[in-house]
Amino acid sequence: MTSLRRLPTLIAFGLALLPALLQPAVAKEPMAIPGTTVTLAPPEGFTPSTQFSGFENKESGASVLVIEFPPEAYDQIAPTLFGTLERARTEFAKRQIKVETLSEVDTPNGKIVLLKGEQVANGETYEKWMALFKGSKTVMLTVQAPEDAGLDDEQVVALIKSVKLGPAQSIAERMATLPYRIEAAEPFRVADILAGNTVLLVVGPQNVDPSGNMPILLVSPQLGGGPIGDKVEAAAEALLKGTVGLQEGKIEKRGPVTFAGAKGLSFEGSFEEKGLKKRFLQYLAVLPDGKFIRLLATAKADAFDGLRPAIEKTAASVALKAMP
């Protein structure tokens, strides 16, 4: 199921303003983002990220994040999150994002809706811009920057206008760029790769499930930020409560787990979604660099135990790739 409300919260960053320039500071040459259909011209000072699909300015803490969904997801995401300012404010508020404005940008890809707002994280306020593109994939582009980065709206508009969309890569091509290996155990199958590092696995022939009936399994390394150190339980709880649909989830079991070759913590519990009683299983392990890798599986309560062996077998297959 590829739906924003069902995905774990993905951290997006932003662009930094280069002072004393009369025109938006955009790189001269567009750059392709590995594992995606997107080519764009990032601002000066931004380099391709090794942690997610996009670019980052390590000096300013600003980044550009690209998340791709199946093409059919556009008709679900566009009206829900980008349809009107009122709807955008309501839906993004559930993700702790305060949307301030909605505008349209004329681009080679047609008119693109651009949302601007802010989000408070770890006591710091970040400016955010979000845009949605329709191509061979549904593309959500998020720009985020600390307030003191001095980001200019013109830079963001120039960035959006530079976006070019190409043909979709195969699942195998995108999995080859992942920093870890994973094998889906039946009945799960790999449906998509999100943000260049998150694997979405589903049960059944469809990739999009507005009804919320489809079992899903997600594996995602930490997108950004510093090491979590020994604060595993606090981080695990924060991630769970930050996942749309699981804010009111009840943790019923806690215990140690080994995941991706690292020690961590397992949470299991129950929640409700669209009137359906469901269960979840979350693994959070701390890697040698102090950052985490996470697994989240959800399914209807009456189907969960039957899927447990496949969930555990898939989890056991996750292993970090050797760094070159």
CATH of the domain at 193: 3.40.1000.10
The total domain count for the chain is 2
Closest residue by Cα to residue 33 from 20, 45, 42, 21: 42
Q: Do 29 and 134 have their domain in common?
A: yes
> What three-state secondary structure class fits 62?
strand
Share of the chain above pLDDT 90, in %: 59
Q: Which of 165, 200, 217 is the last residue of a domain?
A: 165
Q: Determine the structural domain holding residue 287 and report its residue range.
A: 171-320
Query: Is pLDDT at 210 greater than 80 in this prediction?
Result: no
Cβ–Cβ < 8 Å for 215, 202:
yes
Q: Do 124 and 109 have their domain in common?
A: yes
Cα torsion 263, 264, 269, 273: sign = negative
Q: Do 177 and 313 have their domain in common?
A: yes
Q: Do 132 and 176 have their domain in common?
A: no
Q: What is the pLDDT of residue 96?
A: 86
Q: Do 228 and 270 have their domain in common?
A: yes
Alpha carbon distance 131, 105 (integer Å): 10
Mean pLDDT of all residues in 100-117: 96
Q: Do 14 and 60 have their domain in common?
A: yes
Q: Which of 117, 146, 165 is the last residue of a domain?
A: 165
Q: Do 84 and 220 have their domain in common?
A: no
Q: Do 154 and 220 have their domain in common?
A: no
Q: What is the pLDDT of residue 52?
A: 85
Q: Do 263 and 184 have their domain in common?
A: yes
Query: Is pLDDT at 104 greater than 70 in this prediction?
Result: yes
Q: Which of 165, 200, 216 is the last residue of a domain?
A: 165
The pTM (predicted TM-score) of the whole model is 0.71
Q: Do 286 and 137 have their domain in common?
A: no
Q: What is the pLDDT of residue 43?
A: 81
Distances from the Cα of 265 to the Cαs of 79, 227, 235, 272, in angstroms?
A: 37, 16, 10, 23
* β-pairing verdict for 319-320 and 292-300: unpaired
Cβ–Cβ < 8 Å for 266, 255:
yes
Q: Do 105 and 27 have their domain in common?
A: yes
Q: Do 149 and 11 have their domain in common?
A: yes
Cβ–Cβ < 8 Å for 194, 7:
yes
Tell me the β-bridge partners of 192: 200
Alpha carbon distance 182, 165 (integer Å): 28
Which pLDDT band holds residue 206 (cuts at 50, 70, 90)? confident
Task: Name every residue whose Cβ is closer than 8 Å to that of residue 273 and which is 6 or more positions away in sequence.
Answer: 212, 245
Which pLDDT band holds residue 123 (cuts at 50, 70, 90)? confident
In this structure, the number of other CB atoms found within 10 A of the CB of residue 186 comes to 9
